[in-house]
Amino acid sequence: MDQQKLFVQIALHSWNTQIARAEKVFNSYSESEFYKQIAPGKNRIIYLYGHLAVYHDLLKETLGLDTGKYSVLSPLFLQNPDNQESEMPPVKELKAIWNEVHCDLKELFNNVAPEDWFKRHNAMTDADFEKDPSRNRLSVVLNRANHVAYHLGQVVLVKPENI
């Protein structure tokens, strides 16, 4: 197996592991628990769930693989902090978005040639990429997998037995 293909397998395994963990944890919460704060004055579970789903939806654009479908939710989940007064989409709707986004990403990821993972992503310029080619599409996926793990560390504070 060539090195690029091996690196891609490692990165996608990390991504898939974090997404599977997130699904297990989020699916363990009742609908009412989604509205609990992870700590006093901090984000609610529903906010973090929506945050990850919308962020991952936009990952399609960052990687140049497709267009995001849920950018309308960006102000609620990406551009502003959690607000107890904000009207959130129903948990059932967010679960459908989560599932759709991650099914789409799985299919898209599986169709990217190994060498294409090492190309520039759309959040940087050609000049920046030339200076640092390690900031490629694959590094974005690894960073997003770490982002999921970070927020899971917060979410399990509500029910530590979910670890």
In the chain, the amino acid numbered 6 is: L
Mean pLDDT of 4-11: 97
Token representation of residue 21: 């963990």
Contacts of 71 by beta carbon, 8 Å cutoff, 6+ apart: 54, 57, 58
Residue 122 has pLDDT above 80, yes or no: yes
Segments forming the whole domain that contains residue 18: 3-162
Give me the number of domains the chain comprises: 1
Backbone φ and ψ for 85, nearest 5 degrees, come out as -85, -15
Pick from 160, 153, 158: nearest CA to 18? 153
The residues pairing with 106 across neighbouring beta strands, listed in sequence order, are none
Report the CATH number that the domain containing residue 13 is assigned in CATH. Answer: 1.20.120.450
If residue 109 lies in a helix (H) or strand (E), which one and from where to where? helix 91-110
The pTM for the full model equals 0.94
Q: For the segment 37-88, what is each residue's pLDDT rounded down to a tens digit?
A: 998 989 999 999 999 999 999 999 999 999 999 999 999 999 999 999 999 9
pLDDT at position 161 is 74
